[in-house]
Amino acid sequence: MALLQIAEPGQSQAPHQHKLAVGIDLGTTNSLVATVRSGVADVLSDAEGHRSVPSVVSFSADAQPLVGQRADELTGDTSSVIRSAKRLMGKGGLDLADSWLSDHYKFDTSSGSLPAFVTQAGSKTAVDVSAAILSQLRETAEQSLGGDLVGAVITVPAYFDDAQRQATKDAAALAGLNVLRLINEPTAAAVAYGLDNDEEGIVAIYDLGGGTFDISLLRMQHGIFEVLATAGDTSLGGDDIDNALVGWLLEKAGVSKLDDEQASADVKRYAQTVKEALSAADSVAIDWRFSEGHHVSEQLDKAAFNDIISPLVARTLKPCRQVLRDADIEKSDVRAVVMVGGSTRVPMVRESVSDFFGKPVLTSINPDEVVAVGAAIQADILAGNKPDNDLLLLDVTPLSLGLEIMGGLVEKVIQRNTTIPITRGQEFTTYKDGQTSMAVHVLQGERELVDDCRSLARFELNGFPPKAAGASRIQVLFQVDADGLLTVSALEKESGVVASVDVKPSYGLSDGEIERMLRESMENAGDDMQKRLLQEQRVDASRVLEAIGSALDADGDEHLTHDERDVIDKLIVALRDCQESDSREAIKKAIHDLENGSSAFVERRMNASVRKMMSGQGIDNIDSSAWTRSEKIDDTSV
């Protein structure tokens, strides 16, 4: 019997015209793949009928990796069964100290800054683990759709930084996937939810997944989804709720820590079962025994469960407050709150978020599948299957991007929450006479000092003509593409000398660093500004000392008496002595004293220069020269 595919009028497409593209939700706990068929986005099932794949990979020495359900159900030695690897995407060895993963797995950090899980099949990075999951999803899609994929849209947490996004693209490349675009998980949810419900206005996307939390505010109108602001916590999710329950069980059993890997996996799985049961029931009978003499048998009601997880739920509300401040809106301006992620099924989560925003939360779309569905809709558009579609996604940069300038200060070129893709340039100049190269240090963060921001990349612009300090014009261009990845280039305008770098940041962003950076930027805003002003004053002092020193070396003996030189030398010493002090006013006064004390010397040098320039010229030429110089000065000042 033939199977007919029926579509709504105007939605069907000829098979030879339809390009196979998918949306992938690469999650910490579970992953999904979805596609658009006959105008409808749906999650694809694997050969065993599972719509979601546990983000679990088992590596063995003599067989191909097991992915998903089969890996998740393994018993015995589970040291090579890797879970929650997404937490280490784009992270470095220093992050292991703050990660619960270090309590469950052995890591190899000998190969560099990128940590690797020690497995029976050798060392495997988080990128390797993610690539295995993506390969499984690709195979599921190609078997279901009956052909090769032209590409995929892969979702990432809104607060993934450049290193984490690049790690995701690296995993996709290893899995043989062409990445059409990376989009933020909240944005993908908005695509699915907005199209299905025809919402307009400002919407909050509360996304509490297995390992990450994001809150985004989006303005949705006439097919345009614009992210107004985003915040979150990259080390908070359903895993932490499970771990809190595990901690409660261990406390009740009188055990501080489980050394056995199998026992750890068993209690984690039991905690997940308890959590899911309490999402529907008022209480659950606990009957857990993991060894002789360690048995927990009691009733856990919803109130006690809420007490256990309340600190975690409260942590999600802090970014909610922050994102409202960033977007400069009130809670009353938020029209709807969309719940995304399996952990939002927990009643306390829904109640707390509803109370915070003062309105019922929306849960009509399956919170586990909405991200994959939105990614599939976007993939269908990017593959060219809907050329007349006017859907437009406008994501934002999660942190400001800038450059190091003199004094260890940061000059922000692209501010955080700027809509991407974006290209923005800024002109800089040289600091010293005769300078023919410039070091470009790219930074990410909200603080005023380089030491308080994250270094992304360094490169040099070499070989431009030597000029007086401040005469060269160097344009630095920042380009952030639709995936949030950054390219920085520098151009010396007169010579055309150019240098650039594609920023693939070094791994090593610590857990919650982005959130910490944002929080500290607000807490230290006043102090940071005072430090910046102080550093700028110190830079001014360096410029004055450089200029006076060069002039004295050139012809100080010619224009100064011994006593006059002695006065200037003492003023130079006074400025140098207070240059590193914490008193901006003292430095400013010392600069003023040195400028006043050397004014006669500067005037004599200028007069000597003018006499030399006019030497041997007739009066007509002198007048003309003076008039031309005046015109140039006027033009410059204008």
Catalytic residue numbers read 25, 86, 185, 207
CB 212 within 8 A of CB 240: no
Nearest C-alpha neighbor of 513 from the set 571, 447, 434, 606? 447
Alpha helix positions (H), 35-159:
69-72, 126-145
Question: Which residue's entry shows tokens 């050397």?
Answer: 598
For the four alpha carbons of 385, 371, 131 and 213, in that order, the dihedral sign comes to: positive
Report the alpha-carbon distance of residue 169 to residue 154 in Å, rounded.
Answer: 9
Report the alpha-carbon distance of residue 594 to residue 573 in Å, rounded.
Answer: 10
Report the alpha-carbon distance of residue 587 to residue 592 in Å, rounded.
Answer: 9
The tally of CA atoms less than 13 A away on the side-chain side of residue 320 is 23
SS3 state of residue 508? coil
Backbone angles phi, psi at 465, to 5 degrees: -65, 140
CB 400 within 8 A of CB 231: no
283: buried, middle or exposed (CB in 10 Å: 19+, 13-18, 0-12)? middle
Instruction: Dig out the tokens for 424 from the structure.
Output: 């923005």
Nearest C-alpha neighbor of 532 from the set 424, 473, 628, 450? 450
Residue 618 to residues 607, 624, 627, 628, Cα–Cα distance (Å): 18, 10, 14, 15
How would you label 447-477 residue by residue, b for 16+ Cβ within 10 Å and e otherwise? bbbbebbbbbbebebeebeebebeebebebb
DSSP one-letter string for 15-35: GGG---EEEEE--SSEEEEEE
The tally of CA atoms less than 13 A away on the side-chain side of residue 51 is 10
534: buried, middle or exposed (CB in 10 Å: 19+, 13-18, 0-12)? middle
Angle at 21 between CA 389 and CA 395, to 5 degrees: 55
Strand partners, 32: 25
